[in-house]
Amino acid sequence: MDNTSTQQIPTDNTLVSKDTNKKILKKQKIVILVLTVTAIITLIFSIYLLYRNNILNKQVNELMKSPTTGASDNKVGDVSSLTPTPNKLNNTDSQDRNLTHKQVDSCSTDGCLFVKEDTPEGFAKIQGYFFEYEADDWGTLTTCTGLVVTGGNETLIAHFNDWIENGNNLNKYIDEKLVVNIYTESLDKSTQNLIISSTINNQVELGVVRITPVGRGASTCSNVIDIVSAKPVPN
């Protein structure tokens, strides 16, 4: 009797199992590869963002250290550091005519006015003395506070005169004197007292900012200038 061992022949099920294992291993390798590539890309992107953030921080620090940040330390009324483009009213250049605002004169500590639609805006100085008067305010008699203007920025004064002649009653002539409405309630007490105590013989110089005219329906006591400085005029 032959004792030779019998060789086992693979069945169909065994072959299918091996193919399945190979496919699973292949898919696992693909998944691992994709995850690895994604992790590398994420790491590179994170490094790039960190690099850009460092650059931005350096730029911000340089801007904070630049001399221009000192401009905010200027006191109200200090226009000595202003260097605007010299576009004056008599400039007829076509490019200048397209500007929204036109500079009246060169800026200085005495004034810096621009004209928009024939209305001056900006900083200027006027002088005069305090004056109270009664006026009709929509049917109610009220007391207004103003400044009898005796001198100061010619452009601003001429504008106030033209305004009155054109029928605006926020500023007016009283006893043939130009009176400009002022508001002192928001000023500190010492400045208020300086202005209110001023007289024709002890006048005051005001640094004012010409603000945009108020709309229709404004009170007859409304003001179109904000007071930013005040000092007595030497006799």
pLDDT at 67: 43
- Ordered per-residue pLDDT tens for the chain, 235 residues: 455 545 555 555 555 566 777 778 778 888 888 888 888 888 887 786 676 666 655 654 554 454 433 333 433 444 333 333 333 334 434 344 445 667 766 788 888 888 777 778 889 999 999 999 988 877 888 899 999 999 999 989 988 998 888 877 777 888 889 999 999 988 999 999 999 999 999 999 999 998 765 555 567 888 889 999 999 999 8
The two structure tokens encoding residue 184 = 């002192």
Last residue of a domain, one of 73, 102, 118: 73
Closest CA to 156 of 122, 109, 117: 122
User: Are the C-beta atoms of 181 and 224 separated by less than 8 Å?
Assistant: yes
Q: Do residues 193 and 110 share a domain? A: yes
Q: Do residues 110 and 219 share a domain? A: yes
Residue 149 structural domain = 94-232
Domain count along the chain: 2
Last residue of a domain, one of 24, 43, 73: 73
pLDDT at 217: 59
Q: Is the pTM of this model over 0.85?
A: no
Give all strands (DSSP E) within the chain, no chain letters.
Answer: 102-103, 111-116, 119-137, 140-152, 171-174, 177-181, 204-210, 225-232
83: in domain: no
- Residues ≥6 apart with Cβ < 8 Å to 221: 135, 137, 142, 143, 144, 145, 181
User: Are the C-beta atoms of 127 and 149 separated by less than 8 Å?
Assistant: yes
pLDDT at 76: 40
Q: Do residues 116 and 227 share a domain? A: yes
1: in domain: no
> What is the C-alpha separation between 148 and 172, in angstroms, rounded?
10
pLDDT at 178: 93
Q: Do residues 115 and 223 share a domain? A: yes
Q: Do residues 101 and 206 share a domain? A: yes
